[in-house]
Amino acid sequence: MNVLLLGSGGREHALAWKLAQSPLLTKLYIAPGNAGTALTGTNLPVGVNDFAAIKKLVLENQVGLVVVGPEDPLVNGIHDYFLADKALSKIPVIGPSKAGAMLEGSKDFAKKFMQRHDIPTAAFHTFSKETIEEGIELIHHTKPPYVLKADGLAAGKGVVICQDEATAVSELHALIMEERFGQASASVVIEQFLQGIELSVFILTDGISWILLPEAKDYKKIGEGDTGPNTGGMGSVSPVPFADPDFMEKVRTRIIEPTFLGLKEEGISYKGFVFFGLINVEGNPMVIEYNCRMGDPETESVIPRIRNDLLEMLIAAGNEQLSSVKMEIDPRHTATVMLVSGGYPDQYVKGKTISGLEQVSDSYLFHSGTTGDREKTLTSGGRVIAVTSYGNTMKEALEKSYVNAAKIHFDGMGYRKDIGFDVIKGTD
As a whole number of Å, the end-to-end CA separation of the chain is: 44
Tell me which of 92, 96, 233, 304 binds ligand GLY, using CB under 6 A. 233
| Distance (Å, whole) CA 277 – CA 198 | 7
Residue number, 91 or 384, with CB nearest to ligand GLY: 384
CA torsion angle 252 257 258 263 (round to 10): 140
| Distance (Å, whole) CA 22 – CA 68 | 18
CB under 5 to 8 A by kind: which of ligand AMP, ligand GLY, none does 193 bind?
Answer: ligand AMP
- Binding flag, residue 159, ligand AMP (CB under 6 A): yes
- Binding flag, residue 288, ligand AMP (CB under 6 A): yes
Q: By three-state DSSP, how is residue 169 classified? A: helix
Least gap, CB of 323 to ligand AMP (angstroms): 31
Tell me which of 12, 218, 300, 309 binds ligand GLY, using CB under 6 A. 218
Binding piece for ligand AMP, criterion CB under 6 A, among 7-15, 32-40, 188-196, 325-333: 188-196
Tell me which of 72, 80, 191, 296 binds ligand AMP, using CB under 6 A. 191
CA torsion angle 327 198 236 322 (round to 10): 20
CB under 5 to 8 A by kind: which of ligand AMP, ligand GLY, none does 323 bind?
Answer: none
Cα–Cα–Cα angle for 353, 225, 221, nearest 5°?
A: 55
Least gap, CB of 289 to ligand GLY (angstroms): 8
Binding piece for ligand GLY, criterion CB under 6 A, among 26-34, 243-251, 290-298, 318-326: 290-298
Sign for the pseudo-dihedral over CA of 172, 177, 180, 184: positive
Least gap, CB of 193 to ligand AMP (angstroms): 4
Residue number, 325 or 386, with CB nearest to ligand GLY: 386
Least gap, CB of 367 to ligand GLY (angstroms): 16
CB under 5 to 8 A by kind: which of ligand AMP, ligand GLY, none does 198 bind?
Answer: ligand AMP
- Binding flag, residue 108, ligand AMP (CB under 6 A): no
| Distance (Å, whole) CA 257 – CA 94 | 20
- Nearest Cα to Cα of residue 15 among 313, 286, 231: 313
Least gap, CB of 255 to ligand GLY (angstroms): 17
| Distance (Å, whole) CA 342 – CA 347 | 8
Pairing of strands 159-162, 42-43: unpaired
CB under 5 to 8 A by kind: which of ligand AMP, ligand GLY, none does 298 bind?
Answer: ligand GLY
Position 359, amino acid: Q
Edge-to-edge strand list for the sheet holding 146-150? 124-127, 188-191, 146-150, 159-162
Other Cβ atoms less than 10 A from the Cβ of 380: the count is 19
Q: Which of residues 204-233 bind ligand AMP (CB under 6 A)?
A: 220
CA torsion angle 96 99 103 104 (round to 10): 70
Q: Which of residues 351-380 bind ligand GLY (CB under 6 A)?
A: none
Give Cα separations from 224 to 124, 185, 198, 229, 304 (angstroms): 31, 30, 16, 11, 25
- Nearest Cα to Cα of residue 318 among 202, 203, 201, 207: 207
- Binding flag, residue 278, ligand AMP (CB under 6 A): no
Least gap, CB of 363 to ligand AMP (angstroms): 26
Tell me which of 108, 171, 296, 300 binds ligand GLY, using CB under 6 A. 296
Q: Which residue has the closest beta carbon to ligand GLY?
A: 295
Least gap, CB of 254 to ligand GLY (angstroms): 22
- Binding flag, residue 300, ligand GLY (CB under 6 A): no
* Interacting residues with ligand GLY (CB under 6 A): 218, 233, 291, 295-296, 298
Chain residues that interact with ligand AMP, rule: CB under 6 A: 122, 147, 159, 191-194, 198, 220, 277, 288-289
